[in-house]
Amino acid sequence: MNEVVVLTPERILEVTEDVLRRFGLAKATVVDVARALDVSHGSVYRHFPSKASLRQAVAKRWLDRVNAPLQKIAEGSGPAPARLERWLRTMIAIKHKKVADDPEMFATYLTLAQEACQVVKAHKDGLVDQIAGILCDGVKQGAFQVTDPKAAARALFDATSRFHHPAHAEEWSDPAVPARIDTVLGLLLRGLEAPRKR
């Protein structure tokens, strides 16, 4: 007796990732996804009304996976300066690892992310909100002097973009990059410090 597998959006997205890995973004079709699931392409369209919506959902799923460990740090406790540095270093490390481990898939996701502009914007806004939350904690702790946490968070995100924006991925294998990251993070963290009370 054959076991019936329930077709869920999550299952479709898992299989879509496999199809993208096999065929590449240019050649992968909804029919390929349906064939891999052993269903009609109409069944896929019931969950995702167009190829574009399926691709957006794949991009969002990938970005959500990037986001999960960062969210954990942002929602944690402890001294804000250490948390902020850990958050920034983790974000950079996640992107570098994805490029090093699977450059072809990284390129695929980069294209998907560029197509799904609203998804990427929401992702970036969420990351900036996480940084802003850590900055607010730092102000409460007396560790940071920041008048506008949201603007400062956006500035931190922008100032480190060379080390996490996919457009710079080709530079990340340079052996000098870790030292540059240390220097930039050191300057940024010192710039946020509240003056010490005498």
Q: Is residue 40 part of a domain?
A: yes
Q: What is the CATH number of the domain that holds 12?
A: 1.10.10.60
Question: Do 75 and 157 share a domain, yes or no?
Answer: yes
Question: Do 5 and 43 share a domain, yes or no?
Answer: yes
* Domain tally, the chain: 2
Question: Do 26 and 72 share a domain, yes or no?
Answer: no
Tokens of 181: 């990251």
Question: Do 92 and 37 share a domain, yes or no?
Answer: no
Q: Is residue 197 part of a domain?
A: no
Question: Do 162 and 75 share a domain, yes or no?
Answer: yes
* Gap between the Cα atoms of 42 and 50, Å rounded: 10
pLDDT computed for residue 198 by the predictor: 57
Structural contact between residues 143 and 80, judged by C-beta atoms closer than 8 angstroms:
yes
Q: Is residue 75 part of a domain?
A: yes
Question: Do 70 and 114 share a domain, yes or no?
Answer: yes
Question: Do 106 and 166 share a domain, yes or no?
Answer: yes
For residue 164, the Cα-to-chain-centroid distance in whole angstroms is 9
Q: Is residue 79 part of a domain?
A: yes
pLDDT tens per residue, the chain (198 residues)?
444 457 899 999 999 988 988 888 888 889 999 999 999 989 999 999 988 889 888 888 888 888 999 999 999 999 999 999 999 999 999 999 988 887 877 888 778 777 777 888 899 999 999 999 999 999 999 999 999 999 999 999 999 999 998 889 889 999 999 999 999 999 999 999 988 765
Q: What is the chain's Cα-based Rg?
A: 20
Structural contact between residues 153 and 124, judged by C-beta atoms closer than 8 angstroms:
no
State if pTM tops 0.95.
Answer: no
Q: What is the CATH number of the domain that holds 147?
A: 1.10.357.10
Parent domain of 43: 1-49
Q: Is residue 161 part of a domain?
A: yes
Q: Is residue 198 part of a domain?
A: no
SS (H, E, C) 10-59: HHHHHHHHHHHHHHCCCCCCHHHHHHHHCCCHHHHHHHCCCHHHHHHHHH
Question: Do 132 and 45 share a domain, yes or no?
Answer: no
Question: Do 74 and 109 share a domain, yes or no?
Answer: yes
Question: Do 39 and 68 share a domain, yes or no?
Answer: no
Question: Do 75 and 42 share a domain, yes or no?
Answer: no
Give the end of a domain, one of 10, 30, 49.
Answer: 49
Question: Do 176 and 88 share a domain, yes or no?
Answer: yes
* Gap between the Cα atoms of 105 and 195, Å rounded: 46
DSSP string, 111-168: HHHHH-HHHHHHHHHHHHHHHHHHHHHHHHTTSB--S-HHHHHHHHHHHTHHHH-GGG
* Gap between the Cα atoms of 121 and 74, Å rounded: 19
Q: How many C-beta atoms surround the C-beta of residue 179 within 10 A?
A: 10
Q: Is residue 54 part of a domain?
A: no
